[in-house]
Amino acid sequence: MKKVKIDRSTVQLPNAVCGIMFIDGVPRFVTLENRHKIIPPGIYNAKRDTHYGNPDKYDDYVVWELQNVPGRTQIQIHIGNKWDDSEGCILIGSRFNASISFPYLMESKIAHQRFMDITRNDDQLEIEII
């Protein structure tokens, strides 16, 4: 089982929280969360699930879903570019844009596919959020 750590200690803005995702100790991706619906720090198990797409924009796709998040359900790591693309989930990207005042994830679809490729042989993940 791979260990994933999301370190959100670097940049916290009024509406967004930026993070760095490590997989087995190696920094691999960046993350973005809606500050108003932030996931509490902790260690969570995650299982595969489906993110149901908007038929006008994209198809359904497989994601990792965090389990036992206090007071929350359906907390997923999924594709998105800006903090308000999330209703409380973790968005994943390859890098941030250059604007610190309005952080935007770049290459989210590519990063998500790479993340799923890296974890393709795992039945579950341990995800630590700090």
For the chain, give every domain's residue range. Answer: 3-129
What pLDDT shows up at residue 55? Answer: 61
Give the bridge partners for 63, in sequence order.
49
Mean pLDDT of the chain: 91
* pLDDT tens digits along 52-88: 866 666 688 999 999 999 999 999 999 999 988 888 9
Structure-block tokens of residue 35: 């500050």
Exposed / middle / buried, residue 36 (Cβ in 10 Å: 0-12, 13-18, 19+):
middle
* pLDDT tens digits along 92-116: 999 988 676 677 899 999 999 999 9
Q: 94-119: b or e for each residue (b if 16 or more CB lie within 10 Å)?
A: bebeeeeeebbbebbeebbeebbebb
Structure-block tokens of residue 127: 């995800």
% of the chain exceeding 90 in pLDDT: 72
- Indicate the length of the chain as a whole number: 130
